[in-house]
C-alpha cells in the first residue's frame, strides 16, 4: 500500500454527487484550497486532500492506491468490483444519505411485466453490464446485453435494444421515453468507499477521525432539538409522542413545582401534527430547532 503522509479522497468533479460531497466534508470541519486546474484541493485545516475526478474513475483510483477513500455511488462501486477477477478490492465504509437512486429494468409502457424469464432472448441496453449480467445469471435468464456509454433510454426507440437497464430517480426520463420501471436490481446512494485493507499509518487515524465526524453530521442532518414546557403530570404522554422515542432531558422550573422543562433530540422531522398532539397533551412554549453538530 502506498506510503503517504496525507489522506487523499477522490470526489466527483462534476455531477449530482459533487456538491453534496463537498458540502458534507465542509460540515465535518474541513477546509480546502483548490488548485488552478480545479483538479486538486489541498486540505488547510487537516492533512486531507481531494482529487476531483470522473465518478467512473474513483474505484480504480482506490484500487490502485492513488486515493485512500472515495465518495462514489454504490452502483459505480459495485459495477467496477463485479468487473474484476477475484475478491472485491473495495469496501463500503458508510452510506452517506444522498444521491439516492435505483438501477432498474424498464420496459415499453404497453408491455406487462410477468417475471425475469420474460427477458429470455431479449436485447437489454445498459451502462452497467456487470450488474445486469450478475442479475441475469442469478435469475437464470439468457438475454443479450447491449453496452452503451450514454442515452440508454432511447435505445428501444432506435431499435438497438428491446428494453433497458438504467438508473432511475423520479422516473420522469422513463416516462418521457414511453418506458416504465419493471424490476429493481439495486438500490443505490452515495457511499464512502475505501480499499479492502485500511492503511495502518497516520492515514488510518485520520480515517477514524473522519468517520466519527461523518457519523455525527449524517446522524444530525434530519435531527431536530425539541424544547417545551409542560405540566409534570403530562410528561409520560408527551415523551411517548416525541418522534423517534428519544431520551429527553427533564428539569424543574423554578417557582413552578408542578411544571417541567423538556429538551430532546429527535432523529427525524417533527411535523405540525406532532406539535399539535403534544400541545393537546399539555405542552406549551414549544420550539423546534435544527441541530448543526452533535458528538456523542
Q: What is the mean pLDDT of each run of 10 residues along the chain (296 residues)?
A: 80 94 94 92 95 95 95 96 91 93 94 94 97 97 93 91 94 91 96 93 93 88 90 95 91 93 89 94 94 74
Q: What is the pTM of this model?
A: 0.79
- pLDDT for res 296: 63
Identify the bridge partners of residue 86 per DSSP, sorted by sequence position. Answer: none
Residues 135 and 79 placed together within one structural domain of the fold: no
Closest C-alpha to 68, from 210, 183, 177, 193:
193
Residues 89 and 112 placed together within one structural domain of the fold: no
- pLDDT for res 1: 47
DSSP for 267-283 reads ES---HHHHHHHHHHT-
Residue 27 is assigned to a structural domain of this protein: yes
Residue 65 is assigned to a structural domain of this protein: yes
Q: Which residues contact 180 (CB under 8 A, 6 or more apart)?
A: 106, 107, 108, 109, 174
Closest C-alpha to 265, from 237, 229, 224, 216:
224
Which structural domain, as residue segments, surrounds residue 59? 7-99+190-220
Residues 192, 70: Cα–Cα separation, whole Å: 6
Residue 295 is assigned to a structural domain of this protein: no
Closest C-alpha to 225, from 295, 286, 279:
286
Residues 150, 166: Cα–Cα separation, whole Å: 10
Residues 149 and 265 placed together within one structural domain of the fold: no
CATH number at residue 243: 3.30.70.120
Count the Cβ atoms, other than its own, within 10 Å of residue 84.
14
Amino acid at each position: 500500500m502506498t506510503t503517504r503522509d496525507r489522506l487523499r479522497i477522490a470526489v466527483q468533479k462534476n455531477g449530482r454527487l459533487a456538491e453534496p460531497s463537498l458540502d458534507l466534508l465542509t460540515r465535518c470541519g474541513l477546509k480546502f484550497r483548490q488548485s488552478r486546474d480545479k483538479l486538486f484541493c489541498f486540505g488547510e485545516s487537516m492533512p486531507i486532500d481531494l482529487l476531483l475526478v470522473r465518478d467512473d474513475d474513483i474505484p480504480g483510483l482506490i484500487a490502485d492506491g492513488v486515493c485512500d477513500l472515495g465518495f462514489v455511488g454504490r452502483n459505480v462501486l459495485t459495477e467496477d468490483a463485479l468487473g474484476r477477477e477475484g475478491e472485491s478490492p473495495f469496501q463500503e465504509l458508510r452510506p452517506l444519505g444522498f444521491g439516492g437512486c435505483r438501477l432498474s429494468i424498464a420496459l415499453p409502457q404497453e408491455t406487462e411485466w410477468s417475471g425475469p424469464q420474460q427477458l429470455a432472448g431479449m436485447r437489454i441496453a445498459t451502462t452497467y453490464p456487470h450488474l445486469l449480467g450478475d442479475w441475469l445469471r442469478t435469475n437464470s435468464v439468457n438475454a443479450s446485453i447491449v453496452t452503451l456509454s450514454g442515452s440508454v433510454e432511447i435505445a428501444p426507440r432506435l431499435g438497438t435494444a428491446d428494453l433497458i437497464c438504467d438508473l432511475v430517480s423520479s422516473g420522469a426520463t422513463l416516462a418521457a421515453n414511453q418506458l416504465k420501471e419493471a424490476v429493481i436490481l439495486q438500490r443505490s446512494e452515495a457511499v464512502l468507499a475505501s480499499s479492502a485493507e485500511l492503511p495502518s499509518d497516520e492515514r488510518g487515524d485520520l480515517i477514524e477521525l473522519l468517520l466519527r465526524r461523518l457519523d455525527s453530521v449524517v446522524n444530525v442532518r434530519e435531527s431536530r432539538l425539541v424544547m417545551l414546557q409542560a405540566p409534570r403530570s403530562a410528561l409520560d404522554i408527551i415523551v411517548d409522542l416525541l418522534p423517534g422515542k428519544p431520551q429527553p432531558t427533564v428539569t424543574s422550573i423554578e417557582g413552578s413545582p408542578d411544571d417541567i422543562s423538556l429538551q430532546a433530540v429527535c432523529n427525524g422531522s417533527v411535523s405540525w401534527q406532532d406539535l399539535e398532539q403534544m400541545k393537546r397533551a399539555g405542552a406549551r412554549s414549544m420550539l423546534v430547532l435544527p441541530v448543526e453538530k452533535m458528538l456523542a
